[in-house]
Amino acid sequence: MEITNVMEYEKIAKEKLPKMVYDYYASGAEDQWTLQENRNAFSRILFRPRILIDVSKIDVSTTVLGFNISMPIMVAPTAMQKMAHPDGELATARATSAAGTIMTLSSWATSSVEEVASTGPGIRFFQLYVYKDRNVVRQLVKRAEEAGFKAIALTVDTPRLGRRESDIKNRFALPRGLTLKNFEGLDLGKIDKTDDSGLASYVAGQVDQSLSWKDIKWLQSITSLPILVKGVITAEDARIAVEYGAAGIIVSNHGARQLDYVPATIMALEEVVKAVEGRLPVFLDGGVRRGTDVFKALALGASGVFVGRPSLFSLAANGEAGVRKMLQMLRDEFELTMALSGCRSLREISRNHIKTDWDFPHYLPAKL
């Protein structure tokens, strides 16, 4: 079957993967309302295309934290990619580098920061969970820095793991032969089978529930890398992130896997963008499946987007080649959307190019 859009990879992944693995990747928290909403909300944003503009040349390139990338589409951190394909994060790293964009490696990767760095050059960020044992965090950040990673994406929405019912039903555990490679030498690399979700038990035992804003200052004291705060969805937290010297914000609801009934990230985006008043870049994570979605996010003020599940499903379907094709399809669709909207560069994409169903008083957040 010829793949013509990113969504088609999910069907192939579902057929290929063991149920426990597919469910782990695909599911959200509790009723999964936010999981559906992350997608559905995009369909409530319509275009206002401008016509008779010379679009014979279109430039989709951009810069993120000073790094030049080929397009405003980057790869989000997703855990345990070797469950999807034997090459796991190494395939994703190679594909992302070939596409000329940024990969974010998960703390809970099944390949280490050093292994990913060894795949060759590329701009890579490291997603960080803060463990109770701060020495573990210190070591991890230092290793990421030494391996050439360019930024830390600090996940701030996971003091406890959201209730993912399929993981509970499936008694989720890391398949035999796989470990959380970054923690292997620290005896923290295994996720065992429990009477619950093995990951939920692991998080309860290891991740620091006392994490607070002051820890951003602590993190800045142990690394010179810029820190992106991942998991902000309100204006209030966006302003605090600016005060604490964050280098950027990733508007994310953790792929709808933490607190259900939070808004879709595309709905929360504009509130956050307005609150930061241009003082730092804001990125969108969640629900992006089409080039049109990328354009809509940029029109609402995002500096770029991160894609998570599409990376996993394309990896499961066809390894490195799958991830390459997924990124190329999103790029091609995005470029086409720009052309049909009358935009020749990212600078020309504006709020006037879209119309949302919350462009009415009762949809606006109380006070920005």
Reply yes or no on whether the pLDDT at 207 is more than 80: yes
Which pLDDT does position 364 carry in this prediction?
A: 46
C-alpha–C-alpha distance, residues 143 and 139, integer Å: 6
CB 321, CB 288: distance < 8 Å:
no
Q: Is residue 365 part of a domain?
A: no
Question: Is-contact 241 144, C-beta < 8 A?
Answer: no
Mean pLDDT (the chain) is 93
pLDDT tens digits, one per residue of 212-241:
999 999 999 999 999 999 999 999 999 999
77 labelled ligand-binding: yes
Q: How many independent structural domains does the chain possess?
A: 1
In a domain, 367, yes or no: no
Has residue 175 been placed in a domain? yes
The pair of three-digit structure tokens given for residue 323, joined into one six-digit string: 């991830």
Examine residue 153 and state whether it is found in any structural domain, yes or no.
yes
CATH of the domain at 210: 3.20.20.70
pLDDT tens for each residue of 304-332: 999 999 999 999 999 999 999 999 999 99
| 3-class DSSP state of 283 | strand
Sign of CA dihedral 275, 351, 77, 151: negative
Say whether 308 counts as a known binding-site residue. yes
Domain holding 99, by residue range, is 6-356
The answer to whether 331 is a known ligand-binding residue is no
Q: What is the pTM of this model?
A: 0.94
Joined together, the tokens standing for residue 352 give 């006037």
Whether 331 and 100 have beta carbons less than 8 Å apart is answered as no
230 is annotated as contributing to ligand binding: yes
Number of H helices, E strands in the chain: 13, 12
Q: Indicate the length of the chain as a whole number.
A: 368
With a cut of 80, say whether residue 183 has pLDDT above it.
yes
Tell whether 362 is covered by a domain: no
Q: What would the pLDDT profile of 119-164 be if each residue is shown by its tens digit?
A: 999 999 999 999 999 999 999 999 999 999 999 999 999 999 899 9
Check if 85 is active-site: no
Q: What is the pLDDT of residues 263-284, one digit of tens each?
A: 999 999 999 999 999 999 999 9
Query: pLDDT category, 363, cuts 50, 70, 90?
Result: very low
Q: Residue 186 and residue 93: Cα distance in Å, rounded? A: 24
More confident residue, 184 or 23: 23
Res. 190: pLDDT tops 90: no
Q: Give 35-48 pLDDT, tens digit per residue.
A: 999 999 999 999 99
Q: Among residues 324, 159, 272, which one has the least CA distance to residue 285?
A: 272
User: Does 309 appear as a known binding residue?
Assistant: yes
- Which residue in 85, 254, 353, 362 is the catalytic one? 254
The answer to whether 330 and 290 have CB atoms below 8 angstroms apart is yes
314: β partners:
none
Q: Is residue 191 part of a domain?
A: yes
How much is the CA Rg of the chain, to the nearest whole Å?
19
